[in-house]
Structure 1
Amino acid sequence: MGAGAVGCYYGFRLARAGHPVTLIGRPALVEAAADGLVLETGGGRAAVPVTATAEAAGVAGADLVLVCVKSTDTEAAGRAIAPHLAPGAAVLSLQNGVDNAARLGAVIGRPVVPVAVYVAVEMAGPAHVRHHGRGDLILGAGEPGARAAAILAAAGVDAAVSERAMEALWGKLVVNCAWNALSALTQFSYGRLLDGAGVREAMADAVAECVAVARADGVAVPGDILETVYGIGAAMPDQRSSTAQDLGRGRRSEIDHLNGYVVRRGAAHGIPTPVNRLLHTLVRLAEAGRG
């Protein structure tokens, strides 16, 4: 549900493993997917047959539902799919941010498995996803998460179940808060961005605020999180953030659920978050400027 870059990547992996996959996305995707879903990697490109529809009813009968919509669309997507979900379907939130599973579960009236997604992908065109690196998942514990992880692992996805999935989501949020806005505002790749004067220091300030807010929320962020942040530049030098891709296409980004979320939670705890507030404000202004 939400066949953008993340949805198409994992949809491709499941379809290649022999599972019947339905992509729910925009009409352009539905039209292009008639010729197959294309995955492009450094080793070439391949296509697999899938079903595609623009209707939320496409989830009907599915054993596994991957919700990959933007965080801004979580409730709307939940309301759309709720009437069509099979009773035993495992519903997974493969989304940025830390509260999507709870928000989605409140709408559909059943538990949703939170999933931390570590993959560098972008859409090269409708039903054509380009993979730049990684692809591993950390799923929340419980029967639905374990069942989904087994299906994904059999499809060649590195999928682990963990009681600490929320910590993983917070860790990813910290990384996104450090990278996404700066990548979006400059439209620089990670490798080029990290070489910029003052960038490491600005990232360190943003990360420190995030860690303080996470601790106030009762979440333990790994002590080496700043090294993890810097390591993204070396691991994915050619990647641009999802926020940069949204801004470049004139679409609303998820910045309210990244830096904006840290600002709101910081305010709730009385913790100042000036760097995250500025990054959030600048991206929102850039969005307004691009219509």
Structure 2
Amino acid sequence: MRIVVMGAGAVGCYFGGMMALAGHAVTLIARPLHVEAIRRDGLLIERADGRHRVHLAATEDPAAVTEADLVLFCVKSTDTEPAGETLRPHLRSETAIWSLQNGVDNAERLARTLGRPVSASVVYVAAGMAGPGHVRHHGRGELIVEPGPGNDVYAAAFTEAGLPVTVSRDVATALWTKLVINCAYNAISAIAGLPYGSFIGEPGVTDMMRDVVDECGAVAAAVGVSLPDDLWPQVRAIAATMKGQMSSTALDLARGRPTEIDHLNGYIVTKGAALGVATPVNRALLLLVRLRERAAARPEDAPEAAR
């Protein structure tokens, strides 16, 4: 199978690298530093079972999707439309596209940009880039993807490679469930600069997280999405299963990059405002992360003593 990963950060490198280890032809479209390192040394995947170095193609050129059977679209939510535009002229009509992104509306937005179907998927993996061409896996590694042409075959290939994929018509519930989890953890991790397991026990934190979950649930209900009855236990359990994980929002802030907060807590705030649902805790977290983004982007605004 010929797989191209568009936006080979931690998620793209992990899934693409694992499929390459399983013998599939994989090309990563990535940033220049990653491309240079992967071309020189291969991709290093660090897992609990050891370090695996896999040699695969890497490029900055979006035209690499021309021969793909499957494209894993892994760019940040803020880049969905512009990245889609760069791919559009090079895609074959029979190429399948999976959106492996945070948020609930990326597949829909990408489909509008490309003028063709895109399969929404839900990613469950804890991974981070330890350096150029070096991905570190912290846990999990499964996907839920909606039905589409060839998706059963692709899902079987991923599962055989140790990346379990479930094809499900109820992707919307899974997407919203993950959105709620991200809303509960990402902003707090970013604002505090701490991994999940380090802030969950602080007084008042779980109460605030429960408020976030309740607000998200009210917005989901107004949209017409039914969330699982055990949603809060699922949210609470993440701190135990991913205790050392920093949120992607925290990592973006640390690198001085724009975050996806507008597509996480910001999405809940926007939808809530449109539907008449109050979301004060999500709004507060959104505004605090935006202020942290501003501070990261403009360090000259910081007081001298804080530099």
Give TM-score scaled by structure 1 length.
0.98
The 3-state SS of whatever aligns with 2:175 is helix
Could you tell me which of 2, 7, 17 is aligned with 2:7? 2
Q: Which runs of 5+ in 1 are unaligned?
A: none
Work out the percentage of aligned pairs sharing the same amino acid: 55
Q: Comparing 115-124 with 189-198, which one deviates more in the overlay?
A: 189-198
1:15 aligns with 2:20: yes
Q: Could you tell me how far 1:3 is from its partner in structure 2?
A: 0.4
2:112 corresponds to: 106
Within 5 Å, give how 1:169-248 maps onto structure 2: 169-248=175-254
State the one-letter code of the partner of 1:30.
Answer: V
* Deviation of 1:43 (Å): 2.6
In the aligned structure 1, how far is the partner of 2:199 from the partner of 2:36? 36
What is the CA–CA distance in structure 2 between the aligned matches of 1:188 and 1:65, rounded to whole Å? 33
For residue 123 of structure 2, give the secondary structure of its aligned residue in structure 1: strand
Counterpart CA distance in 2 for 1:231 and 1:213 is 22
**SS of equivalent residue, structure 2 residue 244:** coil
The separation in 2 between residues aligned to 1:101 and 1:144, in whole angstroms, is 17
Distance 1:90 1:142 in 2: 8
| Structure 2 counterpart SS, 1:143 | coil
2:34 pairs with one of 29, 52, 64: 29
1:138-163 deviation line (CA, Å, top 9, x unaligned): 00123243233122122221100001
Alignment length, in residue pairs?
A: 291
Matched, 1:95 2:88: no
> Which residue pairs with 2:174 in the alignment?
168
**Per-residue deviation at 1:5?**
0.2
- Does 2:288 align with 1:282? yes
Aligned AA (1:90): A
Q: Separation in 2 of the partners of 1:150 and 1:77?
A: 28
Of the two, which has the highest radius of gyration? Answer: 2
Q: Encode CA deviations 1:67-104: one digit per residue, 9 max, x unaligned.
A: 00000000011100011112211100000000000000
Cα deviations by residue, 1:206-233 (Å, 9 ceiling, x for unpaired)? 0000000011111011111111111000
- State the alpha-carbon separation in 1 of the partners of residues 86 and 150 from structure 2: 21
Runs in 1 of length 4+ with deviation above 2 angstroms?
142-148
Check 1:171–1:95 CA distance in 2 against 1; reply closer, same or farther (3 A cut). Answer: same
In 1, the alpha carbon distance for the partners of 2:217 and 2:286 equals: 17
The DSSP-based 3-state class of the residue aligned with 1:123 is strand
- 8 Å CA contact retained: 1:90, 1:148: no
Shift of 1:29: 0.7
- Report the aligned-residue RMSD: 0.8
Structure 2: how far apart are the matches of 1:79 and 1:194? 40
What is the one-letter code of the residue matched to 1:63?
D
